[in-house]
Structure 1
């Protein structure tokens, strides 16, 4: 097997993370989103690893925005984090996805521990949570349950399931796996690997600067090109005992309902990414249509209704934008309901019941199904509207609108709306609980 080249070294000095009450985050996020939107088409075409974009996130303090209860310098709550991801995604869906994975991984130890410790500092993983928040570390990776026989059969030939072999004072991590976001620019990796001795899934923290860790950027993607996707090879990486964030038993029924909120949290944050992409496309298209309508006449016979066929009174353009805006509003309503339910579930912590978890899963699945279809529909129709309303020499010119469509397609391809709807129908008709995947 060819050994991937080591990724470029990342700067070790970072600006202090700015924190304050929840009122500061909307303003900070809006400023960063405007900055990202300004050169989004250029960066998308270049398709380089998002080192510059991550530097902008750090300058704004967003990696440290969402921290678990009890961690030092607590930032905002889950609702605020969802709002941040949605607005960032409207400007750049790739960076929204990168931030979504980071926020869920920042809660890894808390999900695995089953909730907030009884006293401040009681968490055995406080060094992880506090270090992540204090230093503004960017996390990447992912935790997956063991593959079924069918999944192993269809897995990529160049991937080896991650394994942890116990040794004196810790474990040794081996394997190779692809990740959809962040691994080319992360400060730390959070990954799940099967213990060769017990069969349990252990979640570990890894420094990508370790000489035994090799990160290879992923091949060019159709969309979400700046999310930092890549493949990581772990070649006999020594894992200290304190870098084991938690474990999951092989029997999924023995897992606490609170722990199983982790994959739902990631799925919901990615829904906010998709919704943000759709809203960003719609807003930019509106600006182009307005600018085109306001352009001076190009003929000599004076202004008239035929000079601006897509002007303010054109019924077809109004109908198109009315339908798309309604689709976005409908998706937002479903997403907000799922967001509120997840926030309440996270607040219950150890008191969360199995039925509570099932209800949250259904709402998240509904948000996925509605938003994925709306995002693809909106970004597809926007291409037609911009192509029709904006000639090449018009203000904005429609340049870069294809990125919204490509990002929406790449993001929604990760989950099937059909499968989500089937789970919802089964739950509604028979009361069946949605299928359980431990950590995404």
Structure 2
């Protein structure tokens, strides 16, 4: 680590530096092309293949199955580092790591072995859960049904982030009784169509668009009830966004410092002959870096709570698990508004240390605000302070899971 890198703080575990050293050269390579990919809207297909080949997508898989056996605190810090390289890549893998977490918590040894071996080989799984339609909350228009003796699924999904890059799709459906189920099918199965039609102004390379499923055959081994999903999933999926925001903070801080250091043009009403020596400009650079540091520190504290929830899930103590899950969710909720505010604000303030030329498209500095604002719009943060306040005043636990649909 360089002296500047060390100022972000030590890794979360004694073995983290050795683990991260495997991936840092690749992260640096991925960062070099991030602006060009963003400007040209070139999907990071090759880059995600490189992450698969490096073993990054199997980092949570136990060593016995060929993975790295990383803890959740280690994974979170790696996500911050990858987010610093390109936040699109972190979000594109969010569903895959969630699926991996579910497998790690499965009580079915055959299911665990099947999927851990696949993930260790570099196979990835994308999420096909969200829908745009008239389904009620906790219901899905997508259906699981029997066609003779063959299970099949039909439906259309949106926000299928990363599915275009994945080998498998994890699909939420309703069965004939209206129960929520998860079904896994191959992306190249007949009847599966993944479309790159995501048109949001941020996170433009995540392939978060539409997936159609038309009479897709399903292996019965790949049908799982909603009750079998890991219980700390709300906090887990949210910490992905927060780690990504912290990574964006580091990236914008680094690019701002480099731009200020290289500037030769200055202003007659400035405070020094060079911008790099102007105390007011240095104050902006420092405040932006402080925001990035604080965001990362908060997220890593969240990750400790998440790790405790995982450890509780491996024990046969339902009460202890419920408590650990609630605390993890509350810790993440307490952080969500603060972290998103820190990075959204920093992504705007960075321009105060530069000039109008910083808004030129080739610099790509606008991507930080667009991406941060998009990430912060997930799982509406406006509700988080209320949830935390209700716990603080009334002891009300956080909701077990979010549902989206027509009331």
Category of TM-score, reference length = shorter chain: 0.7 to 0.9
Report the counterpart of residue 35 of structure 2 in structure 1: 41
33, 53, 56: which is aligned to 1:62?
56
- State whether structure 2 residue 172 is matched by structure 1 residue 192: yes
Once structures 1 and 2 are overlaid, which stretch shifts more, 46-55 or 424-433? Answer: 46-55
The offset of 1:28, in angstroms, is 2.8
Distance in 1 between residues matched to 2:42 and 2:339, nearest whole Å? 28
Q: Name the CA shift for 1:24/1:58 in 2 (closer, same or farther; >3 Å).
A: farther
Describe the SS at the equivalent of 2:215.
strand
8 A contact 2:197–2:208 mirrored in 1: yes
The offset of 1:261, in angstroms, is 0.6
Describe the SS at the equivalent of 2:398.
coil
Report the counterpart of residue 9 of structure 2 in structure 1: none
8 A contact 1:218–1:229 mirrored in 2: yes
The offset of 1:373, in angstroms, is 0.9
The offset of 1:389, in angstroms, is 8.5
8 A contact 1:144–1:438 mirrored in 2: no
Q: Name the CA shift for 1:168/1:240 in 2 (closer, same or farther; >3 Å).
A: farther
Deviation by residue 1:16-74 (Cα, 9 ceiling, x = unmatched) = xxxxx755431233212211221211100111332122122123221121225864545
Report the counterpart of residue 136 of structure 1 in structure 2: 122
Distance in 1 between residues matched to 2:185 and 2:18, nearest whole Å? 32
How does the TM-score come out when normalised to structure 1?
Answer: 0.79
Report the counterpart of residue 284 of structure 1 in structure 2: 255
Describe the SS at the equivalent of 1:215.
strand
8 A contact 1:105–1:142 mirrored in 2: no
Describe the SS at the equivalent of 1:181.
coil
Map 1:224-373; keep pairs closer than 5 Å.
224-244=203-223, 246-249=224-227, 259-292=230-263, 295=264, 307-308=273-274, 310-312=275-277, 314-349=278-313, 350=315, 351=317, 352-373=320-341
181, 187, 200: which is aligned to 1:221?
200
Map 1:79-94; keep pairs closer than 5 Å.
79-94=73-88
Describe the SS at the equivalent of 1:353.
helix
Give the RMSD, CA atoms, in angstroms: 3.1
Q: Name the CA shift for 1:70/1:432 in 2 (closer, same or farther; >3 Å).
A: farther
Unaligned runs of 5+ in 2: 1-14
8 A contact 2:203–2:370 mirrored in 1: yes
8 A contact 1:90–1:278 mirrored in 2: yes
The offset of 1:432, in angstroms, is 0.6
The offset of 1:271, in angstroms, is 0.9
Unaligned runs of 5+ in 1: 1-20, 250-254
Structure having the larger proportion of residues in helix = 2
Describe the SS at the equivalent of 1:108.
helix
Report the counterpart of residue 382 of structure 1 in structure 2: 350
